[in-house]
């Protein structure tokens, strides 16, 4: 009986307009009649269950642009080789840089794209491009992918934000957000994994807050009665959501204390590692999009290894290797991998040529993206660069192709249009073709 009740409630709340999400839900809009008692209560109780049925995505963001040579496209014997050697992986014939021993063991769960080719090689412009799918446009702030997901999955009854970010971008001026979609689709930001932002937890006991909320409702009703109905209704709906969030008995989802130590150790005791664990916990509770930012925590250069690449690469990789591999295995063990797409990427790769001090500059003509879960075909490599890692020799993939594929995995129509507040229609993705190797 559960499913029909859910679906009917959904229709009452207008969620049927939520395109991609609904497509993923099984069952029809049937069983009229069950809505007589407390459909709203039922809806609230089941919102998280419902939310979990849509796929989720975890973006592991390598802030600064990771070197392809020292990650997933090593070029052993080339003058461009760099500090890493190569190791075998769980997929015969596939090698990773030796800074990735744990990830190598789970390569059969990964789809490794080695042939991303994009047009922007400055951080701010490249971040805009690969986070929004659109080239930078000074007249229009395109939304980041997480905001598009948040809009698609919008569910006023779900008590958590649908788009959560863990960790801070290394340089604030380069940040992207919901842009023209509007502030309500911005990410909910957690700087430090395991610690909720300051304004979430109520400063008073739950019964006190509830008492205050009901008192303020009574004053609001008076205000509504003198011509302010619209203002009061809008406020109420936001306060309903907010109070459900801040008073949620599941708020401890954001805490990590109760996770077993061995698991926490396996993720790595870094903000990124613990952030990946938190990401799993959030997805488990129905959050649709989580991004976890890796920047090494040592300085604000992050993966932007212009200088001292030989020194910094091992540190950066050691932060991500255990976290990425443990995340994929953890999701798998919990039966969540099929419904959770994990994406590892940065804004570009690094130049093949190594500078005197071991650093590399920005390079957008052949860089890697790694995908896992979400039902994409794993255990494969897509695309290739030449022996020195200079040019894409097989299967060049543009950013729109990647975005179309992300949309397809997440159940969104990539060519759907939304309309900005000034009346401008914008497609989720402009052009691009799905990366067919990932599907079918």
Partner 1 sequence: MRSLLSCAVVLVSAAGSVSAAERLTPEALETSLRAEVPAASDGSISDEQFLRRATLDLLGRQPTAMELEEFLASDSADRRSQEIERLLACPEFGQNWANYWVDTIAFRVPPPELTFLNYDPLRTWLAEKLNTNTGWDAIVRDILSATGKVKDNPPVTFVAYHEAHPQRLASETARIFMSVQIGCAQCHDHPFDDWKREQFHELAAYFVRASVKFPWNEGAETEVKDKGKGEYTMPNVSDPTQKGTEMTPAFLTGKALEKGKSDAERRDELAQLVANPANPWFAKSFVNRVWSRLMGRGFYDPVDDFGPANLAYVESVHEQLAADFVDSDFDVKRTFRLIMNTPAYQQPLPSHVSTAQDPFTTATTTKLRGDEVYASLVTAIELPNVTPPKMEPTKEIRFPPPPKSTRDVVAETFSFDPSARPQDVARTLQQAMLMMNNEQLQRQIDARPESGTVLAKLLQTVPENRDRVEELFLSVLARRPTDKEITIAMEHVSVAEDRNMAFEDLLWSLINSAEFTTKR
Is residue 105 near partner 1 by the rule CB under 8 A?
A: no
Q: Which of 88, 154, 220, 388 binds partner 1 (CB under 8 A)?
A: 220
Q: Which of residues 348-407 bind partner 1 (CB under 8 A)?
A: none
DSSP 29-90: S--TTGGGTTHHHHHHHHHHHHHHTS-EEEEEEETT---STTTT---TTSTT--S--EEE-S
How many CB atoms sit inside 10 A of residue 422's CB?
7
Of 236 and 264, the one with the shorter C-beta distance to partner 1 is 236
Measured between alpha carbons, how far is 360 from 70 in angstroms, rounded to an integer?
A: 11
Residues 257/165/237/39 CA torsion (nearest 10 deg) = -60
Q: How far is the CB of 125 from partner 1 (least distance, A)?
A: 9
Is residue 194 near partner 1 by the rule CB under 8 A?
A: no
Of 91 and 127, the one with the shorter C-beta distance to partner 1 is 127
Is residue 205 near partner 1 by the rule CB under 8 A?
A: no
Say if CB 429 and CB 152 are below 8 A apart.
no
Of 82 and 179, the one with the shorter C-beta distance to partner 1 is 179
Is residue 333 near partner 1 by the rule CB under 8 A?
A: no
Q: How far is the CB of 185 from partner 1 (least distance, A)?
A: 10
Say if CB 347 and CB 126 are below 8 A apart.
yes
Say if CB 298 and CB 63 are below 8 A apart.
no
Stretch that binds partner 1, among 1-9, 101-109, 218-226, 254-262 (CB under 8 A): 218-226
Q: How far is the CB of 426 from partner 1 (least distance, A)?
A: 13
Q: Which of 46, 192, 243, 377 binds partner 1 (CB under 8 A)?
A: 243
Q: Which of residues 416-435 bind partner 1 (CB under 8 A)?
A: 421-423
Measured between alpha carbons, how far is 377 from 438 in angstroms, rounded to an integer?
A: 5
Phi, psi (degrees; rounded to nearest 5) at 166: -120, 125
Q: Which of 32, 37, 183, 356 binds partner 1 (CB under 8 A)?
A: 183
- Those residues whose C-beta lies under 8 Å from the C-beta of residue 44, and which sit 6 or more positions away, are 157, 244
Q: Residues in the site for partner 1, rule: CB under 8 A? A: 122-124, 136, 138-139, 141, 161, 171-175, 182-184, 186, 188, 198-204, 208-209, 211-213, 215-216, 218-220, 222-224, 226-232, 234-236, 238-239, 241-243, 245-246, 298-300, 421-423
């Amino acid at each position: 009986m559960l499913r029909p009740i859910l679906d009917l409630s959904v229709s009452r709340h207008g969620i049927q307009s939520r395109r991609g999400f609904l497509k993923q839900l099984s069952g029809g809009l049937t069983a009229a009649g069950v809505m007589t008692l407390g459909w709203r209560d039922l809806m609230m109780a089941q919102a998280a269950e419902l939310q979990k049925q849509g796929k989720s995505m975890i973006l592991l963001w390598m802030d600064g642009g990771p070197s392809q040579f020292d990650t997933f496209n090593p070029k052993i014997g080339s003058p461009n080789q760099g500090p890493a050697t190569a190791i075998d992986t769980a997929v015969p014939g596939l090698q990773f840089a030796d800074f990735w021993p744990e990830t190598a063991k789970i390569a059969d769960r990964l789809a490794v794209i080695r042939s991303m080719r994009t047009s922007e090689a400055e951080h701010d412009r490249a971040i805009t491009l690969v986070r929004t799918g659109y080239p930078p446009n000074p007249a229009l702030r395109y939304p980041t992918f997480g905001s598009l997901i948040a809009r698609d999955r919008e569910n006023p009854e779900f008590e958590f934000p649908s788009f959560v970010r863990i960790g801070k971008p290394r340089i604030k001026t380069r940040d992207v957000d919901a842009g023209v979609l509007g502030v309500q689709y911005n990410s909910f930001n957690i700087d430090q994994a395991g610690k909720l932002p300051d304004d979430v937890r109520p400063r008073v006991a739950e019964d006190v807050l509830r008492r205050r909320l009901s008192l303020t409702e009574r004053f609001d009703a008076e205000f509504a009665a003198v011509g302010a109905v619209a203002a009061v209704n809008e406020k109420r709906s936001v306060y309903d959501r907010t109070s459900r969030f801040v008073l949620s008995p599941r708020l401890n989802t954001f805490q990590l204390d109760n996770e077993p130590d061995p698991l926490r150790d396996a993720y790595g005791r870094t903000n990124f590692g613990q952030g990946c664990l938190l990401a799993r916990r959030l997805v488990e509770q129905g959050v649709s999009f989580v991004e976890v930012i890796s920047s090494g925590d040592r300085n604000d250069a992050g993966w932007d290894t212009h200088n001292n690449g030989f020194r910094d690469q091992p540190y950066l990789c050691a932060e991500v290797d255990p976290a990425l591999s443990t995340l994929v295995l953890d999701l798998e063990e919990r039966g969540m991998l099929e419904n959770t797409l994990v994406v590892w990427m940065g804004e570009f790769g690094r130049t093949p040529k190594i500078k005197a001090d071991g650093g590399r500059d920005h390079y957008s003509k052949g860089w890697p993206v790694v995908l896992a879960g979400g039902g994409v075909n794993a255990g494969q490599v897509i695309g290739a660069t030449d022996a020195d890692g200079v040019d894409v020799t097989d299967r060049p993939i543009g950013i729109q192709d990647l975005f179309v594929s992300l949309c397809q995995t997440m159940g969104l129509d990539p060519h759907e249009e939304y309309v900005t507040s000034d009346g401008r229609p914008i497609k989720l993705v402009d052009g691009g073709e799905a990366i067919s190797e990932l599907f079918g």
